A and B are shown apart, each in its own frame.
Chain A
Amino acid sequence: MALDLSRWLPPVLLPPVLLLAAWEVLGRFDLVASGALPALSEILIRLWVDRADYPAHVTATLLASGAGFVIGNLLAVLAGLVFVMSPVAERLSRGVNIAIFALPPIAIAPILTLTLEGMTPRIVLAALGVYFVTMQATVTGLTQYDTRAADVVRAYGGGRGAVLRLVRLRGAVPAILSGFRVAAPNAVLGAILAEFGGGGRFGLGAYLLGSLGRGEPDRLWGIGLVATIIAGLSYAVFALISRRMLGASISLSLNPAAAPQVPMGAASPLLGLGAILMPFAVWWALLWAMQVPDMLGKTPWAVVDYLFLADTAPAARAKLLAALAETLPITLAGMAAGLAFAFALAVAGRLTPAFTRAFLPIALVTQTMPLVALTPLLVLLLGRGTAVTLWITISVTFFPAYVMIAQGIAQVPRAALELPRAYGATGWRELRLVTLPASLPWLFAAVKLTAPRALLGVMIAEWLATGRGLGNLLNQSRGYLDFGMIWTVAAVSVILSVALYLVAQGIERTVLRRMGMIRQN
C-alpha cells in the first residue's frame, strides 16, 4: 500500500497523508476513547455547520494577537539594540527580561483580566509572549557578527556605530526573523489564553470556553484546528520571508564571535542587586501608575503579608506547598522528556535529512497548535490523569527546543562539517567531533528556553484537566475571588520559573566554560 502510494506522491507528503488516512479510519469507527477523536471529515463538516460563528471569533483573535505581535516585537528589537550597545542597561534589565520570559502566561492571565479592560489583556499577553524570543534573537544576532568584517570597517576608521550599521544590523536579520518565526505562534497562544482566562464574547479562546461543557468533540476539534491553522500560518509566513531573504547570503565560514551569549561585562554586585529588585519595582510601579484598587491589585509587600504575616498565612502556605509538591516533579520530568525528544530528532535530522523533511511538517503542525486548544482535545483522548499533563508538557517544550537545536546544528559552517568528512569520518563520528560541540551552546539555550515552558504546560494541564497543583490552585482562587492567592500563585510561579531558568543557565555556564566556549573577560 505504502509502496503504491509512493508512486503517486512525493515522499515528503507520504507521512502526512498516511497519518490523515489513519485518523479518518480511527475517527469514523469511533476507535479512540469512544469517539473522542472524530474523523477529519466529521470535524470539517462541523466546521461548515458552525461557519457563521467563526468570523467574529477569528477576527477578534487575529486583532489581539496581531497587535500584540507588532507591539511586542517593536519593543523587543529596540530593547535588543539598547542591550547590545549598553551592557549596563542589559545587566539592570536582566531580572525583568528573565521574568517576562519565564512567566507562565496562564499565571498572570487572571491578574491581567482583573486589572485591565477590553482587548488590552489579550494584547498584553500576546506581546509578552513574543517579547523575549525576539529580544534575545536580536541580541544573539547582533552579538555573533563576523569579527573579520567588523575589522575591515574599523580599519577604515569606522566606530561602533558604523560597525553596527554596516555589519551587525544586517547580519542580525536572519536571527531576528527566526525570532519572529518562533514568536508568531506565541502571540496567538497568548491572545487565546487571555480570551480563555478572561471572558469576553469573541475570540477563539472564548468560543472554546463556551463549547467546553457541551461534550461535542467535533466542535472542540474544529476550534483547535482553526487556532492551529492561524498559528501555523503565522509561523509559515515568517519561515517563507526568512528563506527569501537568506538565499545565498549565508555566512561563509566559522565566525569567531559566535556562541549565543548575552554580553557578560559590567557585572558589579550593585547592578546584580538592581537587576533582582527591578521586576518588583516594575510590579509596584505598574499598580501605582494604573491606580489599581488595593483589594484587586496586590503589591509585592501585600503578597509577603498574605503568605507570612496575616492570620490566614499558615493555611495559605500549606495550600501553596501542597500544590508545589504536585507541580514540580512532573514539570521536571516533562521537560527532560521534551528536550530529549527534540535533541534526538534534531540529531537524527542531521544524519538523515530525508527524515527531517518528512517529519518536520507534522511536528510543526502539532506544535503550533495553541495549548489551550490542544488541552481539551488531549483530555478527551488521554483522560484526566498524569499522562495528559506529561504529554502536554512534552509537546510544549519540544517545539522551541527542536527549532533551536536544529538551527544550531544547521549553522555549523560548511567548512567545519566537511573537514571530518574529508578524513573519511562517518556520520556519528562527524557528529561527535563537529556537530555536537558546535551546537552545544544552542542545546543549552534550548534548555533555558524549555524550563519555563514546561511549567506553563503543567499549569495549563492542571487548570484545565487534572485539577491538581498550582494551575488548579489558581483556577480555584479565581473562583473564590481570593485575590491574595491569585497574586501569590502568579508571583510564586514566576519565581519558580525564573529559578528553573537560572539553574539551567548555571549548568550551561559551567559546561561551556569547561569546554572553553565562553570568551574570557
Chain B
Amino acid sequence: MTAPAGIVLSGLTKTFHGRGKSVTALRDVSLICPPGSFTALIGPSGCGKSTVLRASLGLEPLDAGKVEIGGQAPERATAAGITGVAFQDAGLLPWRSVTRNIALPLEVLGRDVGPAAGRIRDLIALVGLTGYGDALPGELSGGMRQRVAIARALVSEPRVLFLDEPFGALDQILRRQMNIELQRIWAETGVTTLLVTHGIDEAVFLADRVAVMQAEPGRIVDVVDIDLPRPRETALFSAPHFHELCDRIAGVLHGA
C-alpha cells in the first residue's frame, strides 16, 4: 500500500429542504484528519454525522465548503480507488453472493476481480463469515450483513477509510472483537480512518481524536484528543483514565 492520505473538510454547510421544513444538517463543519490518523465522529442521532461522511465522498452536493482527500477533490479520490466506505445501511445487492458483493468496489474501479479471490476469502474470514461466501444477503442477519459491508470497504486496499456505525447491529462481545480487528488493520496499513459511531467507549478505544457534534444546526462543538497509548487492549475498558475521557466526551455531548 502506498502512503496514506489525509482528509481535509473545510466549512461544510448543507441545508435539506423538506416538506414545509428545512433542516440545517451541517453548518460550517471543519475537520482535519492527518494521514494515518484515526478520528471518531460522535453525536446525537440526526445531528448530521452521515451527512458529513456522504459529503466527504462527494455524494451530497454542498451549499458551501470544500472537501479534500489526499489533496484531491472527493470525486477524483474515489474514482482513483483511494477510499473505502461502509455505510450505515449495508446496501448490499440482494442478487449477489457475499463474495461478489465484496468484490463490487473492484468492479466499479475497473480492477481485476480474479486475482483478488484470495484476498476476499481472507476478508470474509476476518469478519467472521467463513463458509458464507456463497450465501445471498437475504439469508444473513443484520449484523452479518454489516460485516459484509466492512469487508467490502476494505477490499480495494483503501488509503482512506470511512465507516458509518459499522458495528451498530453487533452484540457487545463481537463489537469488542471487531474493534480490536479494526485497530489491528488500521495499525498495519496506516489507513486514515474516519469512524462515525454512537458508542463513546468505542470512539475512545479506537480513535486518536474524537470530534463531537451537536444537532440543529449540525456542527462540531469539540474535538477531544485521546492520549491513550497503543496498542490498546480490552483491559483498557476498565482503566480509570479511559473512563475519565469517556465522561469528558459525555459531558460535551450532553451539553454540560
Contact = CB atoms under 8 A, between A and B. Distances in A.
A and B: interacting chains: yes
22 contacts: A149-B91, A151-B87, A152-B85, A152-B91, A153-B108, A155-B59, A155-B78, A156-B81, A156-B104, A156-B109, A156-B156, A157-B78, A157-B79, A157-B108, A157-B109, A158-B108, A162-B108, A166-B104, A170-B95, A171-B93, A248-B94, A516-B19
Contact of A149 (B18, B83, B92, B109): B92
Contacts of B156: 156
A170 B93 CA distance: 9
A148 B93 CA distance: 9
B105 A156 contact: yes
A9 interface: no
Contacts of B63: none
A167 B79 contact: no
Given A156-B109, A157-B81, A248-B136, 13 more contacts: A148-B87, A149-B91, A152-B85, A155-B57, A155-B87, A156-B85, A166-B104, A171-B93, A249-B95, A251-B94, A252-B145, A516-B19, A520-B18
Q: How many residues of B sit at the interface, in one of the four size bands?
A: 20 to 34
A122 B85 CA distance: 54
A385 B244 CA distance: 88
Interface residues of A, number: 24
Given A146-B91, A520-B19, A152 B105 contact: yes
Contacts of A157: 75, 78-81, 108-109
Contacts of A251: 94
A250 interface: yes
Interface in A239-255: 247-252
A154 interface: yes
Nearest to A148: B91
A252 B17 CA distance: 28
B147 interface: no
Interface string A135-176: 000000000001011011111111000100011001100000
B168 to A, nearest CB: 14
Interface string A487-521: 00000000000000000000000000000100010
B93 A149 contact: yes
Contacts of A248: 94, 136, 138-139
Interface in B54-81: 54, 57, 59, 75, 78-81
Interface string B1-43: 0000000000000000111000000000000000000000000
Given A157-B79, A157-B81, A151 B91 contact: yes
B181 interface: no
Contacts of B138: 248-250, 252
Nearest to B90: A148
B227 interface: no
Contact of B93 (A162, A166, A247, A520): A166
Given A152-B87, A157-B79, A516-B19, A250 B105 contact: no
A287 B67 CA distance: 58
Given A152-B105, A166-B93, A249 B136 contact: yes
Contacts of B18: 520
B216 interface: no
Interface in A245-275: 247-252
**Max chain A Cβ within 10 angstroms of own Cβ: one of B78, B94, B139:** B94
Contacts of A158: 108
